[in-house]
Amino acid sequence: MSNEAEGRFPWRGTRPYNSLSAQIVREFGGRVQKVSIDAGFTCPNRDGTTGRGGCTYCNNDAFNPLYCTPEKSITEQILQGISFHRRRYRRSVGYLAYFQAYTNSYESVDKLEILYNEALAVEGVKGLVIGTRPDCVNDDILELFASISEKSWLLVEYGIESCYNKTLRRVNRGHSFEESESAVRATSSRGIRTGAHLIFGLPGESREEMLAQASILSDLPLDTIKFHQLQIVRGTRMEKEYNDEPGQFDLFNWDEYRDFVISFAELLNPAIAIDRFTGEAPPAMIIAPRWNMKRTDSLIVEIEKRMEERETWQGRLCGK
């Protein structure tokens, strides 16, 4: 590889992509683990505000840890999550309270402030990660985020999922890409760390269309990005669609996906830190694709190895 790929990347790292976890280690002096929270929120495309039934691919049970239930207080969930992660990652120097389930800004500002402050008050919590939708923020909520970010580490993650309105309609997302762009710009303009989720393999999208999203997102003021492969999960509307008409879906096998996300990373703005490359759900809940692979950490090792084989790195083809 070139000298650039040997350690002189713009993100000051030796890995062939701009790793959010490496950024956090540099900032805090060690590993900081996310602890998931289910604060009992819902979504506007579930309660009838913009639709019913939620996103066709969504079943929150597929990624909520067992300790994470809204019947418990925020504090209880965090303490149980810390106990779980201490057994798994003994060297963590702190924790980020991750408001993960459903839409975590879909409430009044006063209620949100109480919930966020409760999480920040737990010993060991260094900051917040708030997962939400681009149609569920307004000026008052953004000002609340800004006030938190002045005192604590904060990342606001938007479920963009796709840059194509045809796809967003197809999966009953309930918002447009234009709303995603507006929310990202409004959040970033207030000095708040801003992230995005993107799903690869949604029905109706060609792989060329998926890849073209790299340049679209590279022009947005994003700090982080998280990639998920589409998984057909039990208990979702998409499970029925897949069973009825599997030909509508072009799901990745592992080798295809590994090479696809590397090609995407090559085109992606190197200033955007990659939070994760793959989604992870309990194997018993996955209908397809069933990769029968190892843990996420092992998948990342395989991606990095393949990037080295291809002599490439994040942003190598950005703007070309």
* 194-248 per-position pLDDT tens digit: 999 999 999 999 999 999 999 999 999 999 999 999 999 999 999 999 999 999 9
Q: Report if residue 255 sits inside a domain.
A: yes
Q: Report if residue 231 sits inside a domain.
A: yes
> What confidence tier does 68 reach under pLDDT thresholds 50, 70, 90?
confident
Number of structural domains found in the chain: 1
Query: Residue 32's domain spans which residues?
Result: 4-309
Q: Report if residue 84 sits inside a domain.
A: yes
Q: What is the pLDDT of residues 239-279, one digit of tens each?
A: 999 999 999 999 999 999 999 999 999 999 999 999 999 99
Q: Report if residue 315 sits inside a domain.
A: no
DSSP 257-298: HHHHHHHHHHHS-TTSEEEESS----GGGEEE-------HHH
Q: Report if residue 160 sits inside a domain.
A: yes
Please report the sign of the dihedral spanned by the C-alpha atoms of residue 168, residue 169, residue 172, residue 176: positive
Rounded Cα distance, 224 and 293, in Å: 25
Rounded Cα distance, 50 and 103, in Å: 13
**0.85 cut: is pTM over it?**
yes
Q: How far is CA 291 from the centre of its chain?
A: 20
Tokens coding 71: 């019947």
Q: Report if residue 221 sits inside a domain.
A: yes
Q: Report the CATH number at residue 146.
A: 3.20.20
Distance in angstroms between the alpha carbons of the first and the last residue of the chain: 20
Specify the residue for token string 């913009």: 50
Tokens coding 270: 């190197």
Q: Report if residue 314 sits inside a domain.
A: no
